[in-house]
Amino acid sequence: MFENLSDKLSSTLSNLKKKGTLSDSDVKTALREIRVALLEADVALSVVREFTEDLQQKATGQIITKSVTPGQQVVKLVQDELVKILSDPDDSGNLKIDNPPAPVLMVGLQGSGKTTTTAKIAKRLKERDAKKVLMASLDTNRPAAMEQLAILGEQIQVDTLPIIKAEDPIVIAKRAKLQASTGGYDVYILDTAGRLHIDDDLIKQAAAIRDVVLPRETLLVVDGLSGQDAVNVATEFNDKIGISGVVLTRMDGDGRGGAALSMRAITGKPIRFMGTGEKLNSIEKFDPNQIANRILGLGDVVALVEKAQESMNAEDTARAIKRISKGQFNLNDYREQLIGFSKMSDSKGIFALLPNFKRIANQIHQDTFKTQFAKQIAIIDSMTKKERAFPQILQASRKKRIAAGSGTTVNEINKLIKVHRQMSTQLKKFSSNKMGQSLLKKMMVNENDDYSENANETVAQLEDLVKQANLFIPNAAGGNRLGQFRGFKKGK
């Protein structure tokens, strides 16, 4: 996400931070490079012009060039300007679904991922906000569109409106409204039909449905890879129907990211969510501060914590934390954490969310992680209950049996045992202090904290974790420790 833009901005700003003092020429050169990076990322010209002009006013003069830390101050100015472009000061960032049953209307072009996004939002509302959700497909044009939403509803255990063939979309909308009212639903989401392009029929149908249900939110789903076309689509829909927010899909792809930076500035509408993958939990709330941090390579600890909460079983992890503090971290506990971490989608992406870890992320191959996690889990699964609980009893004959059962080698088993022993020792040391216990709980147990308010503290704790815990990350060569990156310092 934003990889090319992030690389170029990070490189430009890194060069500034290396200078003890900045001249006006240094600032102008950096601004020119930032302007080029934004244009290459397909950010709208008007947005680029406003961004660089505001930045130039603030980044020139005595305050910056005579500062003790001029490079850091420029980074902060760039971050503030990015947040300004991405933010709507009058918007809370939350969906307006306060009066049940609250209708949410999903609109967009065909192929933008509207139906899958409908299910993703429904799952998020159900699991995070404890809302009772009803989904209804109003797409009578695309073959099997209604059946697709019904199948997704079964997968996420969210109710869908029963399908009645040959029913008009307006009638379906009225039926969904009635069922939501009588069924005690908090929210009902209407997935409308799309077209390959904006036409009169599409606009008229969406407008008619809007007038029937009076939606609390009208969310436009657009493909984030379509660049400025996405902004043009948003402008058309907003002018002719009126939208309350935007959902950008396929933001995990290799697109240039300009749509996200241009969308709010041009349409005046906030970006509500981002689709970051094909899985039904691969959707993130769009937070301007977090996105600005990612673009500048400063990490996104909040998103990392949310991924951990989604993937880790809270009860199992709480039990593991307690055992860690007592030095009882056995191979059963290690296996549970391997499974939890392997569920956290793209492991390379996880490191990209950590501050100052982009260099490591670029060295990681996702297939290597998947292979090593699966191999280590297979080794542990081939052990007896006693061997998992007391790995110290694993002698040569036992290791040969486990290797044969797991399709691995004795050498690989020895590496796993060594890793587990190192983790057990280091985690016990780390969890013996209050800061370590606090961070482990934040990362693994859903305490419903507002992490965004404590992001700086959590960043500092993560950095301390890397320095102190020397945690092992498996790879094809048998293992590396994050602690081996001895040059790890904030801002480098």
pLDDT digits (tens, 9 = 90+) for 354-399: 444 444 445 444 445 667 788 888 999 999 999 988 888 999 999 9
At residue 318, the pLDDT reads 62
Maximum mean pLDDT: which of 78-87, 259-268, 344-353, 411-420: 411-420
Task: Check residues 92 and 237 and name the one with the higher pLDDT.
Answer: 237
450 pLDDT higher than 60? no
Alpha carbon distance 133, 218 (integer Å)? 16
Alpha carbon distance 47, 231 (integer Å)? 12
Mean pLDDT computed over 17-42: 76
Pairing of strands 283-285, 271-275: antiparallel
Pairing of strands 159-160, 217-223: unpaired
Maximum mean pLDDT: which of 327-336, 405-414, 433-442: 405-414
Question: Which tokens belong to 407?
Answer: 């399709």
Task: Check residues 318 and 63 and name the one with the higher pLDDT.
Answer: 318
| pLDDT interval class at 461 (50, 70, 90) | very low
48 pLDDT higher than 60? yes
Question: Which tokens belong to 374?
Answer: 């699966």
At residue 319, the pLDDT reads 64
At residue 323, the pLDDT reads 65
100 pLDDT higher than 50? yes
Mean pLDDT computed over 237-251: 89
Q: Are 372 and 476 in contact (CB under 8 A)?
A: yes
1 pLDDT higher than 60? no
Alpha carbon distance 308, 17 (integer Å)? 32
20 pLDDT higher than 80? no
277 pLDDT higher than 70? yes
At residue 155, the pLDDT reads 95
Min mean pLDDT across 183-192, 318-327, 341-350, 392-401 is at: 341-350
21 pLDDT higher than 80? no
Task: Check residues 426 and 219 and name the one with the higher pLDDT.
Answer: 219
Compute the mean pLDDT over every residue in the chain, rounded to the nearest whole number. Answer: 75
Give which of 225, 223, 114 is closest to 234, Cα–Cα. Answer: 223
Mean pLDDT computed over 136-151: 92
Maximum mean pLDDT: which of 37-51, 329-343, 474-488: 37-51
479 pLDDT higher than 90? no
At residue 466, the pLDDT reads 43
Alpha carbon distance 290, 8 (integer Å)? 18
Alpha carbon distance 220, 218 (integer Å)? 7
246 pLDDT higher than 70? yes
At residue 118, the pLDDT reads 96
192 pLDDT higher than 90? yes
Backbone angles phi, psi at 186, to 5 degrees: -85, -35
Q: ω before 143 within 30° of 0 (cis)?
A: no
At residue 165, the pLDDT reads 85
At residue 402, the pLDDT reads 92
